[in-house]
Structure formats: structure tokens, C-alpha cells
Amino acid sequence: METNTRVRLAAEGPTVSRLAYGVWRLLDDPEGASARRVLDKIHACLDCGITTFDHADIYGGYRCEEAFGEALRASPGLRERIEIVTKCGIMLAHPARPENRLKHYDYSRRHIVSSVERSLKNLGTDHLDVLLLHRPSPMLDPDEVAVTIEMLRKEGKVLHVGVSNFTPSQLEMLQSRLASPIVTNQVEVNLLRLDVFVDGTLDQCQRLGISPMAWSPTAGGRIFHGGGDVERRVRSALGELCRKYGAAPDTILFAWLLEHPSKMVPVVGTNRIDRIRGAASALAIDLDLQDWFFLWTASNGWEVP
């Protein structure tokens, strides 16, 4: 099903909401991360059509999945109303993983399987809608990953597979061995980070018919409070468009991401419920082509050639 609030990530991929909600900063919420507070945010998302939740095993020092899982356990039936994306592969040097002497990546069969099992347990679910390989690794063995993913899919523990922060050639190399289609590439995209528009990443997504997921859509909030020239130019341009569209700056910048023909899925990162609603209201905005380029030009600092 494809509407203006839902999108199919790939031809053989899952249908997700047009915006996802990311839980990386869940434990930084000034209002806490109790099951009650997490449920309030989940319901705020559902109320505005956001049903897809983006996790990683490592978020919150390996604790975010569990905090989210507690909320799901407190609300039977909620799991069936949402899609869960999570990631594996980054090994943090962290007290929760004393065996990691340094930060590194691990895509061995043993690690992928144990990471998935732990995510399932923490989240209190029997399946992950999408598993992403969090970052490319120079030591990734595509044949080992392929065998592991096919096994996890056969067991029904992982329904779909994707990647994150992969270059086009890294994605293509992995896809050449996987029987399952890669359903997304989750990459950093925002008005301070335009690389993927010009380095082939979004071209590849469109060629393969997969929707990218856009992480840090507000550049970690720097668009709103950063002191550099680019931030100032972007804020000033956003201000003009706010007046024209009668919308808040964050709504305009989510509309800018949503307008792109790759049908990218921005991953909303705020802990504030009013800002979740502000992001979702971007779905009602039809950003004019010249206004899209107005923001592009403000970010680059020069007009297109």
C-alpha cells in the first residue's frame, strides 16, 4: 500500500510510515524513559501516522531497545501496530561489553545471530521487520552475511534486510551475494549534509527502487542553533518559507526531505511530542520546486550552475 502517509521501502520490502521515529536519544529525554513516557511518545507517533520505529542494539549504551521493549510489554497489542527496524554490527568499547577492547565492527555469523537474539529479547518481540547492517566494515564477508541473513529470514526472526551508511559499491557488492533484496540504505541527509544527493547514493536507491531512510534530519538540532555561516543561511531561508507556508521551520525542513523523488523516509529524532507532531505535519505541505531549490541554494551558498 502506498499513500502519502505510507511507503513500500522496496518492491519486495515492507510498507512503512512515510516518517519513522528514531530512539537513539530515548534516554536523553528530560522527562525520563519510563514505560509511561515512552508509550506517550509512541502514541503521539501513531496519532500522526508514524508507525515505524528505528533502533540499534547500541543505542543508549545498549539500553534503548530494552526501555522501548518495556513500553511494548506494558501495552499488549501495540507490537502488531508498529514496524521495528534495528541494527547490528557496531561493537562499542563500553562497560556493557567488557570483551570489546576497542570500538570495531563485527559481521560474523556468530555476532549477527547473537545481536538479533538479544534485540528480540530486549524488544519483547519474535521478529524484526527490518535488520540493518549499521556501518560498512572492511572485514565484512558478504558470503557469511548472506548465509546468516537467509537463515534468520527462514526462521522468521528477521523479515527484511537493509544497510546503513553504505556507499553504492558496498551495497552492490553485498547485494551480489544476498538472495534477499536489500530494502533500504539508511544514510545521513539534512540541509547541512547534502553528500548523498551528489555522490551516487540516492541515484542508486532510485535505480534499485528502494527508499532511503534519512538519519539526523535536523543535523542533531544544529540547523536551529548552529553558529556557522551555512546554519545561518539555512535558518534565514527557512524563516522566509515559514512565513509563506504558515508552518514551523522543522516542518518545512521535513517537507524538503519528503519532497525528494527517492521517497526517503526521514527518521525523526526529537524527544518532544510537539516536535514529533511538527515533523508529521510536513506531510500536508506540498513544497514548490523553486522553494526546494531555495533551500538547496541557501545550504550550498551558491546558485546552481
| CB nearer ligand NAP, residue 211 or residue 216 | 216
Helix (H, G, I), strand (E, B) or coil at 60: helix
- Closest approach, Cβ 264 to ligand NAP, in A, equals 12
- Closest approach, Cβ 186 to ligand NAP, in A, equals 5
| CB nearer ligand NAP, residue 175 or residue 186 | 186
User: How big is the chain, counted in residues?
Assistant: 305
Check if 21 is active-site. no
- What CA–CA distance (Å, rounded) separates 232 from 30? 27
- What CA–CA distance (Å, rounded) separates 224 from 86? 28
Q: How far is CA 127 from CA 153, 154, 194, in A?
A: 9, 11, 34
- What CA–CA distance (Å, rounded) separates 146 from 209? 21
- What CA–CA distance (Å, rounded) separates 80 from 203? 33
- Closest approach, Cβ 209 to ligand NAP, in A, equals 21
Catalytic residue among 59, 62, 105, 107: 59
- Closest approach, Cβ 27 to ligand NAP, in A, equals 11
SS (H, E, C) 254-285: HHHHHCCCCCCEEEECCCCHHHHHHHHHHHHC
Residues that bind ligand NAP (CB under 6 A): 22-25, 54, 164-165, 186, 215-221, 224, 250, 267, 269-272, 275
Which of left, alpha, beta for 137 (phi over 0: left; psi -120 to 50: alpha)?
A: beta
- Sequence-distant (6+) residues with CB within 8 A of 257 are 189, 190, 214, 217, 264, 266
- Closest approach, Cβ 84 to ligand NAP, in A, equals 12
Active site residues: 59
